[in-house]
Amino acid sequence: QAVLTQPASLSASPGASASLTCTLRSGINVGTYRIYWYQQKPGSPPQYLLRYKSDSDKQQGSGVPSRFSGSKDASANAGILLISGLQSEDEADYYCMIWHSSASVFGTGTKVTVL
Amino acid sequence: EVQLVQSGAEVKKPGESLKISCKGSGYSFTSYWIGWVRQMPGKGLEWMGIIYPGDSDTRYSPSFQGQVTISADKSISTAYLQWSSLKASDTAMYYCVRTEWELLGLGAFDIWGQGTMVTVSS
């Protein structure tokens, strides 16, 4: 079982909100981790979006619009990336990441399609 | 401008050696960690390892330990990723990334290089 699991794909309409989940493997408590989110558009390197651990421990990447935000669902043991007011330019792959046992671990990635 | 500039694409044969580079500029190279991330064609991101150019402290993912060597030359603000004997399965895009030590540990990969495509084929 992967350390971080993301749904393979998600589709939504322009203007809608999209909620991307990053589920941590059983036994790894989401509450103790900073979760980092990255966006990768085709043919480009990933870009850092934001970090979220709690409302008092969060960081927006430089120049990242505020319609990208982070949260957690403790009951699902998951981190969440919320994209509000979806735009066509948001069509990309999204990866979550944590530092676990002194190693960086990436999620499996979610491909977001804006219909 | 803070940036990481990587060396160009490489085409190699199985068994050959290779060293690719990542040059940092616009910031204090010895104050940040440089990591390497692999992306195989059509696949996700995999962290390979990381180095602190200030003292060459190096850490590897268990998946890549012994398969690659990460090094840095702080005098020229450049980090390296090298293979002694390439395999076809090493075909991938390789990104260098910058991060720094925060209160709770290493942080975000806030700067990414443009990537170096390595193709290994007979």
- Mean pLDDT, residues A62-74 taken together: 97
Contacting residues for A65 by C-beta, under 8 A, at least 6 apart: none
Cα-Cα-Cα-Cα torsion B52, A36, A107, B63, nearest 10 degrees, comes to 10
In this predicted structure, the answer to whether residue A20 has a pLDDT above a threshold of 90 is yes
Interface of A with B (CB under 8 A): 34, 36, 38, 40, 45-48, 51, 59, 61-62, 95, 97, 99, 102-109
* Residue-level pLDDT at B103: 78
* Residue-level pLDDT at B105: 86
Residue A7: pLDDT band (50, 70, 90) is very high
Q: Which of B45, B94, B112 to mutate: most A Cβ within 10 Å? A: B45
Range scoring the smallest mean pLDDT among A37-41, A70-74, A101-105, B92-96: A101-105
Residue type, A81: L
* Residue-level pLDDT at B101: 87
Write out the DSSP string of A8-37.
Answer: SEEEE-TTS-EEEEEEEPTTS-GGG--EEE
The pLDDT mean for chain A works out to 97
* First and final C-alpha spacing in chain A: 31
Let me know: does B14 contact B88? Beta carbons within 8 Å.
yes
Q: Is B46 on the interface with A (CB under 8 A)?
A: yes
* Residue-level pLDDT at A75: 96
Per-residue pLDDT tens listing for chain B (122 residues): 999 999 999 999 999 999 999 999 999 999 999 999 999 999 999 999 999 999 999 999 999 999 999 999 999 999 999 999 999 999 999 999 999 988 778 999 999 999 999 999 99
CA closest to B4 among chain A residues: A45
CA closest to A42 among chain B residues: B42
Residue among A45, A51, A61 whose CB faces B95 most closely: A45
3-state secondary structure of A66: coil
Residue among B44, B105, B108 whose CB faces A95 most closely: B44
Cα A69 from chain centroid?
9
* Residue-level pLDDT at B104: 78
* Residue-level pLDDT at B96: 98
Residue A91: pLDDT band (50, 70, 90) is very high
SS (H, E, C) chain B: CCEEEECCCEEECCCCCEEEEEEEECCCHHHCEEEEEEECCCCCEEEEEEEECCCCEEEECCCCECCEEEEEEHHHCEEEEEECCCCHHHCEEEEEEEECEECCEECCCCEECCCEEEEECC
Name the strands in the sheet holding A18-24, side by side, starting at the edge strand that comes first in the sequence. Answer: A4-5, A18-24, A78-83, A68-73
* Residue-level pLDDT at B74: 96
Min distance A87 CA to chain B CA atoms (Å): 23
* Residue-level pLDDT at B102: 84
- Mean pLDDT, residues A60-85 taken together: 97
Q: Is B113 on the interface with A (CB under 8 A)?
A: yes
